Amino acid sequence: MVRSWANTNPATQGITSVQLRLVEDELRIAIHGAAQGDPFNWGEVAVEAIYAENASSRRGMAFVARYHFGFLDTLIEGNVNAGLLVLAAFHTFHDGSHRSNYFFPRIFS
């Protein structure tokens, strides 16, 4: 899982790339996106949990991380399958705007 991942859709207006890296035995994620064509850096956060394929495996294949933006919280769930990173972002608004919370799946290679 530890590497840089690029969105399989180069014209995306959402998440363009994901970097997973180990820092002092802690898995960290950094997300970059495109906001109406302009680059946007979400920053880097610690991965909250890593999941193996089964209870006896030591090899991580999925993870959960959270971003807190004040008006918006985003839960990131990712897993590696067939050499691709499948990423799901669950966005929850807290700003009283009455926008719908939404789910945003993407695939990275």
Mean pLDDT of the chain: 94
Give every CB contact of residue 43 below 8 A, 6+ residues apart in sequence. 30, 31, 67
What pLDDT, in 10s, does the model give residues 80-99?
Answer: 999 999 999 999 999 999 99
**Sheet strands (E) in the chain:** 3-6, 15-23, 26-35, 38-52, 60-68, 72-81, 84-93, 102-108
Region for 13 from its dihedrals, namely left if φ exceeds 0, alpha if ψ lies in -120 to 50, beta otherwise:
alpha
Q: What pLDDT does 93 receive?
A: 97
Burial of 21 (0-12, 13-18, 19+ CB in 10 A): middle
